[in-house]
């Protein structure tokens, strides 16, 4: 698919930022939005698009029981979460749902959202934190299609044990057409996993298509993301103070990273923890003085079913200034 500039394939070399002064993003990330807005970015904008609960009723919830009941009900619906909800709990939305935090953002503590065996789900404008492993990931996408996660703030706590919390944003069991955009992932051991097991190749190969667009990763230990089997497109992302490793590509995964910068990590891109390597292609990626030796992949922007715009690895703060649960609804 056509995109804003031609990718430079620089997979095996230590990447320094390529000037992109003539490739500025003409789109402004607005803090005002509509609760019925359809996805317009990444894989979730493809395969017929992701519209969530548009056309259904709108319900405002302010406690866990009401939230869970509304999310799990059949039929399209827009669910507005108002205030600070505290678990423990795990919400499993049905298909055709839009879940948003009220204007200015709402929060879930120790409440995970588990998108399993459904399609057409949108999650926006929520801060989700400290979800115990017993309640799953902060947001988990499992065997589902067309899921858009946007303007969320996902976090844990690096002062607890590594396995006390699970992932912040995990995509598993052949899920497809998934986007996480304009979000902040921070203060967590295992941030984001694409593909849950080395032994699940029969199901996952040819699936697990995920876009990471316009996100900030800060103070994570690893999995930024870790990708097995699938296809990940990471663009306009900023990584700060990554303790162990950033992107991990393995088991034949194809990862395209563009217009992205790393700082404060010695291992921005790795292959580890599996017997078979994954692959990476870099275009305008600032590794912050580090290097990598992951095998070069074959993926390019022309292979993707959507258009996108790159701001340049030196211009990320502008596009990231509104990341997180910062939306105000019209």
> Cis before residue 261, ω within 30 degrees of 0?
no
Cα–Cα distance for residue pair 317/311, rounded to 1 Å: 10
pLDDT band at 144 (very low <50, low <70, confident <90, very high): very high
Q: Is the pLDDT of residue 112 over 70?
A: yes
Give the model's pLDDT for residue 11. Answer: 31
Options 90, 124, 223, 250, the catalytic residue = 223
Share of the chain above pLDDT 70, in %: 91
Cα–Cα distance for residue pair 203/210, rounded to 1 Å: 16
Fold of 32-329: Pectate Lyase C-like (2.160.20)
Residues pairing with 220 in the sheet: 188
pLDDT band at 26 (very low <50, low <70, confident <90, very high): very low
The reported pTM is: 0.91
Give the side-chain half-sphere CA count within 13 A for 37.
20
Cα dihedral 318, 140, 48, 151 in deg (nearest 10): -20
Quick one: tokens of 64?
A: 């866990």
Q: Which residues, 6 or more positions from 176, have their beta carbon under 8 angstroms from its beta carbon?
A: 43, 47, 145, 146, 207, 208, 209
Give the model's pLDDT for residue 32. Answer: 86
The arithmetic mean of pLDDT across residues 251-272, rounded, is 97
In the chain, where the domains are located: 32-329
Cα–Cα distance for residue pair 118/235, rounded to 1 Å: 27
Quick one: tokens of 154?
A: 């996902």
> Cis before residue 209, ω within 30 degrees of 0?
no
250 is catalytic: no
Q: What are the pLDDT digits (tens) for 275-320?
A: 999 999 999 999 999 999 999 999 999 999 999 999 999 999 999 9
Quick one: tokens of 305?
A: 């079913």
Give the model's pLDDT for residue 265. Answer: 94
Task: Yes or no: say if 9 and 314 are a contact pair by the CB < 8 Å rule.
Answer: no
In 206-325 the beta strands, taken as DSSP E runs, fall at: 209-213, 216-222, 226-228, 231-235, 238-240, 247-250, 254-263, 269-270, 279-286
Task: Yes or no: say if 319 and 25 are a contact pair by the CB < 8 Å rule.
Answer: yes
Q: Give the residue, 12 or 37, on which the prediction is more confident.
A: 37
Write down how long the chain is.
330
Of residues 62, 172, 186, 79, the one with CA closest to residue 125? 79
Q: Which of 4-8, 53-57, 64-68, 226-230 has the lowest mean pLDDT?
A: 4-8
């Amino acid at each position: 698919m056509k995109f804003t500039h031609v990718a430079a394939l620089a997979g095996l070399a230590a990447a320094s930022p390529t000037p992109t002064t003539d490739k500025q993003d003409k789109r402004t990330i607005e803090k005002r939005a509509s609760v019925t807005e359809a996805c317009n970015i990444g894989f979730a904008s493809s395969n017929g698009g992701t519209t969530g609960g548009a056309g259904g009723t709108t319900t405002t919830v302010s406690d866990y029981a009401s939230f869970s009941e509304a999310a799990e009900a059949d039929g399209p619906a827009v669910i507005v979460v108002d205030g600070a909800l505290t678990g423990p709990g795990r919400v499993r939305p049905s298909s055709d749902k839009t879940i948003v935090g009220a204007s200015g953002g709402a929060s879930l503590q120790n409440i995970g959202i588990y998108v399993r065996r459904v399609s057409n789900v949108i999650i926006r404008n929520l801060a989700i934190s400290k979800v115990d492993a017993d309640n799953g990931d902060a947001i988990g996408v499992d065997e589902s299609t067309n899921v858009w996660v946007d303007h969320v703030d996902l976090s844990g706590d690096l002062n607890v044990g590594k396995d006390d919390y699970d992932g912040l944003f995990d995509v598993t069991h052949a899920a497809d057409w998934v986007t996480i955009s304009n979000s902040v992932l921070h203060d967590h051991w295992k941030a984001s996993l694409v593909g849950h097991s080395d032994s699940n190749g029969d199901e996952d190969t040819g699936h697990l298509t995920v876009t990471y667009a316009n996100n900030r990763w800060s103070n994570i230990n690893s999995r930024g993301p870790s990708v097995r089997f699938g296809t990940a497109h990471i663009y306009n992302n900023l990584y700060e103070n990554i303790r162990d490793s950033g992107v991990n590509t393995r088991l034949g995964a194809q990862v395209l990273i563009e217009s992205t910068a790393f700082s404060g990590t010695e291992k921005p891109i790795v292959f580890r923890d599996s017997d078979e390597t994954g692959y990476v292609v870099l275009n305008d990626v600032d590794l912050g003085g580090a290097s990598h030796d992951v095998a070069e992949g074959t993926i390019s922007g022309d292979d993707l079913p959507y258009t996108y715009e790159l701001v340049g690895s030196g211009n990320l703060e502008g596009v990231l200034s509104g990341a997180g649960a910062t939306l105000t609804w019209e």
